[in-house]
Amino acid sequence: MSEFTTALIVSPLADGKSWVLLQDLKYHIGSIDNPDCVVAGRGFVTDFASVPRIFWWIIPRWGKYGNAAVIHDWLYWRQTSKNRAESDQILYEAMGVLSVVPWKKSSIYYAVRGGSGDR
């Protein structure tokens, strides 16, 4: 089973919206034995879930899905071996690992699938 193998440790930045990773965040795809591992590196800056303000009452920028959002940000902005669809699927899988409720997991997934263009 997929899993996060390090804790998410962050510090807020002065802009009030962004956070910096103080240590690597590791996520093993598929199983702990799988060499396919995503590592969001120390020093990476994230805004967690990029949700338009009007929807914050339903899906805030931070929630149980926070670790998954950081991995997804990393995949979108720093890592090139996964395409957009693969990155979005990893987000969906990681939210399952974090026991995000199904309606919220699906809402976030379909929002990112409908978001920015392919890379």
Containing H/E element for 27? Answer: strand 25-28
Q: Which of 88, 52, 67, 91 is nearest to 8 (CA)?
A: 67
Q: What is the pLDDT of residue 38?
A: 92
Q: Which of 3, 8, 80 is nearest to 46 (CA)?
A: 8
Beta strands at 25-28 and 37-40: parallel, antiparallel or unpaired = antiparallel
Residue 118 domain-assigned?
Answer: no
Residue 86 domain-assigned?
Answer: yes
Q: For tokens 């009007």, what's the residue? A: 54
Q: Read off the tokens for 65.
A: 């899905």
| The model scores a pTM over 0.85 | yes
Whether the pLDDT of residue 28 is over 90: the answer is yes
Residue 64 domain-assigned?
Answer: yes
Residue type, 94: A
Residue 119 domain-assigned?
Answer: no
Whether the pLDDT of residue 13 is over 50: the answer is yes
pLDDT in tens, 63-98: 899 999 999 999 988 877 788 899 999 999 999 999
Residue 99 domain-assigned?
Answer: yes
Residue 41 domain-assigned?
Answer: yes
pLDDT in tens, 35-46: 788 999 999 999
Q: What is the pLDDT of residue 115?
A: 65
Dihedral sign of CA atoms 96, 107, 48, 117 in order: positive
Residue 80 domain-assigned?
Answer: yes
Domain that holds residue 87: 3-113
Residue 68 domain-assigned?
Answer: yes
Q: Is residue 35 within 8 Å of residue 11, measured between CB atoms? A: no
The number of folded domains in the chain is 1
Q: Is residue 70 within 8 Å of residue 25, measured between CB atoms? A: yes
Q: Which of 107, 108, 75 is nearest to 90 (CA)?
A: 75
